[in-house]
Chain A
């Protein structure tokens, strides 16, 4: 972009006047509330009279709490890796498909994204239930004598979440793959590199920004996927989002719920910042 950018509404309103409404809204209803949440988390009582770090020491010194945090972050990691494993090939397939197939594929990818997450979670209850398709087929094939308990297991949560977050991984990768010069693939092939080598040394490094973007989106939304974690996990394993809800609404312990929320927020932000730094460094390598 060498052209100097100018406001798209030249002369009518100044930039700051255009930004003002949204900036005020965000200050009042996003950052204000989050700051207040941080403030509440630094108190020991609901009436906010005694300031202390008590909620945080309580969280960070208790094995159960740390277990919940660990399980949540671990869940996010497993879901991210699983979506990458099947999402990348799908994005690759899209990038080499004829336009007619691309239209169909993109619908298949976008449609689930816009379908209610509660509905998609419900689908997994039907699939993995005692009389669900998996159990019925396994019993019919004689592989199982009795329907097994598939629902309410850690694996079920990972698989269901991976399916639900899959579009978030595929879409950014499709975007970067579409931007890769097709001549590079040809050049690599004519220099004698096989398919695997071309993929690993040319395509994969060039698509890294899309992979990182997809991983971030999937990670951030799977650690806070309240509905799926709760319904498919069935309370067998506690995750941070449900813990926040339970402490706030069921136990009325707002300061502790606030502290849990801040810890979840901080751990998501830490990952986002780390991945962004990594992305910047990789861009530096690619350009220099």
Chain B
């Protein structure tokens, strides 16, 4: 589609005898688009790049440019930061469990509401997508009060429940999108060839929507791993997730270890995004 747009730009030739005014107009339009998107691109890249550079500093502070280069903060991170490793482990566990539960919940619901133009399906769709718009902090506080009223208090379980609530919409969205692109004829033919519903689901539907589910689950995992607002209310004093630990480090003394943690997170995220882009096309699913 977008390739077509580009072709069309190329096929509109600079008309002969084009007036100075229209040439100036085209130039000024290109200039404005070019300058503003250049600012946008620099803004998208620069911050992460600067953090990566600072993480290799030999100094004690977050000075930029760094006075010298070393791996000392990565050494500090890998050798004597048990707090950060504990937090990272907890975050991985919570994100893993929340993603697993929300995948099951979202995919089953998507099977019912995707390809359904009926009002109830559209209504449920917007209801299930609502956590994307709600202030997560309000939901976190609501859940905290809820669990206190029911006397369960907060624990690892409540933390996973909170994360599941905010990650479900991502998987629902990508799965519904994959289902709506599914060719109904395929299901018909499977049926007419004698495939039972379960067999048809397993051999036709599931393989075709799997990339969508995987992309959604990946996004959900990253969002859970990064969540602060829910974890702030729902974790007990002993369990601190990585983003909150990192936040505390940043807020208390701007320890350069924060840059090393960020460096590791940026590297891991970049590799994961490139790998996922290659296999399931994440970027096609985030739109």
Residues of A within 8 A of B205 (CB): 8-9
Q: Once the chains bind, are B247 and A178 in contact (CB under 8 Å)?
A: no
Q: Once the chains bind, are A96 and B286 in contact (CB under 8 Å)?
A: no
Decide yes or no whether B229 CB sits under 8 A from chain A.
Answer: yes
Say which residue of B115, B124, B233 sits within 8 Å of A5 (CB atoms).
B115
Say which residue of A90, A131, A224 sits within 8 Å of B40 (CB atoms).
A90
Residues of A within 8 A of B200 (CB): 10
Residues of A within 8 A of B118 (CB): 5
Q: Once the chains bind, are A106 and B283 in contact (CB under 8 Å)?
A: yes
Q: What is the bound-complex CA distance between A16 and B141, given in angstroms?
A: 30
- Interface residue count on the A side (C-beta < 8 Å): 116
One digit per residue, 1 when the CB lies within 8 angstroms of any chain B CB and 0 when it does not, for chain A 115-141 equals 111111111111101011100100000
Decide yes or no whether B246 CB sits under 8 A from chain A.
Answer: yes
Q: Say whether, besides A18-B112, A19-B112, A216-B133, A178 and B5 are in contact (CB < 8 Å).
A: yes
Interface residues of B in 28-56 (CB under 8 A from A): 28-30, 32-34, 36-37, 39-41, 43-48, 50-51, 54
One digit per residue, 1 when the CB lies within 8 angstroms of any chain A CB and 0 when it does not, for chain B 252-283 equals 00100011011001100110111001000011
Residue on B with the closest CB to A200? B29
Say which residue of B41, B198, B262, B277 sits within 8 Å of A119 (CB atoms).
B262
Q: What is the bound-complex CA distance between A227 and B112, given in angstroms?
A: 36
A284 to chain B, nearest CB (A): 18
Q: Once the chains bind, are A9 and B197 in contact (CB under 8 Å)?
A: yes
Residues of B within 8 A of A111 (CB): 44, 48, 269-270, 273
B174 to chain A, nearest CB (A): 13
Q: What is the bound-complex CA distance between A120 and B128, given in angstroms?
A: 28
Decide yes or no whether B193 CB sits under 8 A from chain A.
Answer: no
Residue on B with the closest CB to A183? B8
B116 to chain A, nearest CB (A): 5
Q: Once the chains bind, are B266 and A126 in contact (CB under 8 Å)?
A: no
Q: Once the chains bind, are B2 and A89 in contact (CB under 8 Å)?
A: no
Q: What is the bound-complex CA distance between A231 and B262, given in angstroms?
A: 15
Residues of A within 8 A of B145 (CB): 33, 36-37, 40, 254, 258
Give the interface segment out of A51-59, A60-68, A168-176: A168-176
Q: Once the chains bind, are B246 and A5 in contact (CB under 8 Å)?
A: no
Main secondary structure on B side of the interface with A:
helix
Decide yes or no whether A70 CB sits under 8 A from chain B.
Answer: no
Residues of A within 8 A of B22 (CB): 194
Interface residues of A in 69-111 (CB under 8 A from B): 85-90, 92-99, 102, 105-111
Q: Once the chains bind, are B64 and A86 in contact (CB under 8 Å)?
A: no
Q: What is the bound-complex CA distance between A105 and B283, given in angstroms?
A: 10
Q: Say whether, besides A15-B112, A33-B142, A117 and B6 are in contact (CB < 8 Å).
A: no
Residues of B within 8 A of A108 (CB): 41, 44-45
Residue on A with the closest CB to B30? A195
Interface residues of B in 92-129 (CB under 8 A from A): 104-106, 108-109, 111-118, 121, 124, 127-128
Residue on B with the closest CB to A33? B142
Decide yes or no whether B164 CB sits under 8 A from chain A.
Answer: yes
Residues of A within 8 A of B108 (CB): 18-19, 21-22
Q: Once the chains bind, are A98 and B48 in contact (CB under 8 Å)?
A: no
Q: Once the chains bind, are A126 and B54 in contact (CB under 8 Å)?
A: yes
Q: What is the bound-complex CA distance between A224 and B44, given in angstroms?
A: 21
B168 to chain A, nearest CB (A): 7
Residues of A within 8 A of B251 (CB): 231
Q: Once the chains bind, are B274 and A12 in contact (CB under 8 Å)?
A: no
Q: Say whether, besides A106-B283, A189-B12, A112 and B44 are in contact (CB < 8 Å).
A: yes
Q: Once the chains bind, are A123 and B112 in contact (CB under 8 Å)?
A: no
Q: Once the chains bind, are A118 and B228 in contact (CB under 8 Å)?
A: yes
14 extra interface residue pairs, beta carbon distance < 8 Å, beyond A90-B40, A110-B282, A241-B135 = A6-B115, A7-B112, A8-B115, A12-B198, A21-B105, A33-B146, A37-B141, A86-B39, A110-B286, A163-B44, A166-B40, A185-B9, A224-B135, A249-B232
Which residues of chain B have a CB within 8 Å of any CB of chain A?
1-9, 11-12, 21-22, 25-26, 28-30, 32-34, 36-37, 39-41, 43-48, 50-51, 54, 61-65, 104-106, 108-109, 111-118, 121, 124, 127-128, 130-139, 141-146, 149, 161-162, 164-165, 168, 172, 179, 182, 184, 187, 191, 197-198, 200-201, 205, 219, 222, 225-226, 228-229, 232-233, 243, 246-247, 250-251, 254, 258-259, 261-262, 265-266, 269-270, 272-274, 277, 282-283, 286-287
A-B contacts, 11 listed (Cβ < 8 Å): A10-B187, A10-B191, A22-B108, A34-B142, A122-B262, A126-B50, A226-B229, A231-B250, A240-B135, A254-B145, A258-B141
The 3 A-B residue pairs with the shortest CB-CB distance, nearest first, are: A33-B142, A123-B47, A224-B135
